[in-house]
């Protein structure tokens, strides 16, 4: 089957789908609002390197990535810290975001796709409650399927007929409001822990969120201030001033900075409509804790392309099979993590300081937190488990809520994995309400 498909935005999920759909003989046009060379951020972010082979894509050029740097987690009171065990060499990489966009553009063009840079999509064309195409600055164009890869703030979800139950906007605590800035390094100063370039402070200044301060190359420092619920100019200035006092490498010489928003919730319950599917951040298909949005989006894009290559049609009922399958395989785990994340971010600062100082979490435990779902997790020895249980029993104010939230997280996971099999809008609306409630998103 040769379908005519539009991709809105050069998000990685949409671009993975675009390349794979072109390879299986479809016609694909990508509309990107930014000009070529200016798509995405001016920095590097971390991903697992095997995501390209998992998505059956060639590796990106070697000069656009480097070995991921070592990380240190720091307690809110700065008294204790835990180094994150490094993965094998080049298993995790830091990739240049703009070079990654260009890599995808070149793949799509080489596969016969059309990539229109500097052409924002203004709205969807919706006729008889079906998405039929897009309106851009170049005019109207009809398509069999529109893939929305325009990111977390997609305005297109709100243009869909309500009967499809696609969430128009996420609730406020599904978003980490951030400010990312690059400062010059203070001459001759060293990082907090010698040999570890990246430092993440949990619940920095007791606020819901994190701050990081990372050495980049020899003379730049990458700072992120991230908060749930909102981030005022005053919050930014206070947090940076605090980091400037506590992080020896951070000077006052700003190179550039910008506000950002990071998707931090489990997937929206429904991401399909007649002629429409959302992938990546526009469907919140991202791991809501680990910052692995690029990888999750790419895997979702590949799964969508595989579904379409298998002869899928583009009605909501047909696309629902793709959606529920994805929810079962990945979305359910993300829902589990989302519930625990909401709780963890609301924990009192003193409790987190205790977790670090008591030895409840050790360096080797952090190896359990990996984005690689296929990797064998290291085993914690029985003696260490008993020690942890003993420690937890001394802290019922932390332990009992933790148990309660693990149970809630399991219920959310189960709910996510058990969406109605058949496309029945009434049943889906009921399930979507239940799922959002389980997530704590209503
Ligand atoms: C500060 C920060 C740090 C992060 N760190 C990491 C990390 O270390 N690892 C990781 O995996 N992820 C990280 N992420 C998350 C990651 O950026 C996203 O999860 C990932 O890019 C997936 O988003 P996306 O592909 O769906 O869309 P996006 O990357 O948001 O791309 C959307 C695209 O759509 C275009 N667009 C928007 N509207 C229109 C329109 N109307 N018409 C045409 N084009 C449009 C935009 O210009 C953009 O190119 C980070 C995000 C931020 C902000």
Residues with CB under 6 A from ligand 1: 8-13, 31-34, 39-40, 45-47, 120-121, 149-151, 178, 180, 224, 260, 262-263, 280-282, 286, 291-295, 297
Q: Please tell me the pTM assigned to this model.
A: 0.94
User: Which of 6, 7, 45 has most ligand 1 atoms within 8 Å of its beta carbon, as the pocket-test mutant?
Assistant: 45
Distance 136 CA to ligand 1 centre (A): 20
Q: What is residue 364's predicted lDDT score, i.e. its pLDDT?
A: 66
Note down pLDDT in tens along the chain; length 442 residues.
699 999 999 989 999 999 999 999 999 999 999 999 999 999 999 999 999 999 999 999 999 999 999 999 999 999 999 988 878 889 999 999 999 999 999 999 999 999 999 999 999 999 999 999 999 989 999 999 999 999 999 999 999 999 999 999 877 678 899 999 999 999 989 999 989 999 999 999 999 999 999 999 989 999 999 998 899 999 999 999 999 999 999 999 999 999 999 998 999 999 999 999 999 999 999 887 766 899 999 999 999 999 999 887 899 999 999 999 999 999 999 999 999 988 888 899 998 898 888 877 776 666 655 544 555 555 666 777 777 777 777 888 888 988 999 999 999 999 999 999 999 999 999 999 999 999 987 6
Distance CA 429, CA 435 (A): 10
Distance CA 184, CA 80 (A): 26
User: Which of 7, 11, 17, 296 has most ligand 1 atoms within 8 Å of its beta carbon, as the pocket-test mutant?
Assistant: 11
Q: What is residue 174's predicted lDDT score, i.e. its pLDDT?
A: 85
- Domain locations along the chain: 4-66+94-171+266-327, 173-263
CATH: 2.60.40.1180, 3.50.50.60, 3.30.300.170, 3.20.20.150. Which one for 4-66+94-171+266-327? Answer: 3.50.50.60
User: Which of 39, 151, 267, 278 has most ligand 1 atoms within 8 Å of its beta carbon, as the pocket-test mutant?
Assistant: 151
Distance 427 CA to ligand 1 centre (A): 32
Distance 284 CA to ligand 1 centre (A): 11
Residue nearest to atom 25 of ligand 1 (CA): 11
Q: What is residue 387's predicted lDDT score, i.e. its pLDDT?
A: 74
Q: What is residue 426's predicted lDDT score, i.e. its pLDDT?
A: 97
Dihedral sign of CA atoms 77, 342, 228, 248 in order: positive
**Which phi and psi (to 5°) does residue 430 adopt?**
-65, -45
Q: What is residue 380's predicted lDDT score, i.e. its pLDDT?
A: 62
Residue nearest to atom 2 of ligand 1 (CA): 262
Question: Residues with Cβ < 8 Å from 378, sequence gap 6 or more?
Answer: 364, 367, 368
Distance CA 417, CA 192 (A): 43
Residue nearest to atom 21 of ligand 1 (CA): 294
Matching fold, domains 4-66+94-171+266-327 and 173-263: no
Distance CA 357, CA 79 (A): 8
Q: What is residue 234's predicted lDDT score, i.e. its pLDDT?
A: 97
Beta strands in 118-235 (DSSP E): 121-127, 130-136, 139-142, 145-148, 175-185, 198-202, 209-216, 220-228
Q: Which of 46, 39, 17, 45 is nearest to 29 (CA)?
A: 17
Half-sphere exposure of residue 271: CA atoms within 13 angstroms, side-chain side: 31
Q: Which atom of ligand 1 is nearest to the CA of 282?
A: 26
Q: What is residue 363's predicted lDDT score, i.e. its pLDDT?
A: 66
Q: Which of 111, 120, 104, 152 is nearest to 8 (CA)?
A: 120
Please say whether the beta carbons of 61 and 30 come within 8 A.
no
Q: Which atom of ligand 1 is nearest to the CA of 156?
A: 41
Q: What is residue 86's predicted lDDT score, i.e. its pLDDT?
A: 78
Residue nearest to atom 38 of ligand 1 (CA): 150
Distance 320 CA to ligand 1 centre (A): 24
Distance 64 CA to ligand 1 centre (A): 17
Please say whether the beta carbons of 186 and 215 come within 8 A.
no
Q: What is residue 288's predicted lDDT score, i.e. its pLDDT?
A: 76
Distance 11 CA to ligand 1 centre (A): 6
Q: What is the CATH number of domain 173-263?
A: 3.30.70
């Amino acid at each position: 089957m040769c379908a005519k498909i539009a991709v809105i935005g050069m998000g990685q999920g949409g671009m993975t789908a675009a390349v794979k759909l072109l390879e299986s003989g479809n016609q694909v046009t990508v509309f990107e609002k930014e000009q070529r060379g200016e798509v995405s951020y001016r920095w590097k972010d971390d991903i697992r390197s095997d995501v390209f082979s998992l998505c059956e894509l060639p590796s990106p050029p070697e000069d656009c990535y480097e070995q991921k740097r070592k990380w240190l987690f720091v307690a809110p009171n700065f008294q204790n810290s835990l180094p994150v065990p490094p993965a094998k060499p080049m298993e995790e990489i830091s990739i240049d975001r703009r070079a990654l966009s260009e890599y995808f553009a070149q793949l799509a063009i080489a596969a016969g796709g059309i990539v229109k840079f500097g052409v924002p999509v203004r709205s969807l064309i919706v006729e008889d409650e079906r998405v039929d195409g897009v309106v851009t600055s170049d005019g109207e164009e009809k398509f069999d399927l529109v893939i929305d890869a325009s990111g977390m703030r997609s305005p297109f979800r709100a243009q869909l007929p309500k009967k499809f139950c696609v969430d128009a906007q996420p609730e406020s605590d599904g978003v980490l409001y951030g400010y990312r800035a690059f400062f010059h390094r203070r001459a001759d100063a060293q990082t907090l822990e010698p040999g570890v370039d990246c430092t993440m402070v949990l619940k920095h200044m007791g606020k819901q969120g994190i701050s990081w301060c990372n050495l980049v190359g020899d003379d730049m420092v990458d700072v992120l201030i991230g908060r749930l619920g909102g981030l005022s100019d005053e919050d930014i200035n206070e947090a940076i001033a605090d980091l400037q006092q506590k992080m020896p490498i951070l000077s006052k010489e700003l190179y550039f900075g910008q506000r950002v928003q990071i998707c931090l919730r489990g997937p929206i319950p429904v991401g399909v409509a007649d002629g429409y599917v959302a992938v990546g951040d526009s469907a919140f298909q991202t791991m809501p804790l680990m910052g692995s949005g690029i990888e999750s989006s790419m895997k979702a894009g590949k799964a969508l392309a595989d579904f379409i290559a298998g002869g899928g049609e583009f009605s909501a009922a047909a696309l629902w099979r793709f959606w529920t399958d994805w929810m079962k395989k990945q979305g359910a785990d993300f829902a589990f993590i989302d519930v625990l994340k909401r709780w963890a971010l609301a924990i009192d600062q003193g409790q987190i300081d205790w977790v670090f100082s008591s030895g409840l979490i050790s360096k080797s435990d952090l190896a359990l937190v990996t984005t690689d779902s296929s990797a064998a997790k290291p085993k914690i020895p029985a003696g260490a488990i008993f020690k942890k249980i003993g420690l937890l029993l001394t802290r019922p104010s932390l332990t009992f809520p933790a148990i309660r939230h693990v149970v809630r997280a399991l219920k959310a996971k189960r709910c996510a994995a058990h969406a109605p099999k058949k496309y029945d809008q009434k049943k889906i609306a009921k399930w979507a309400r239940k799922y959002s409630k389980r997530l704590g998103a209503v």
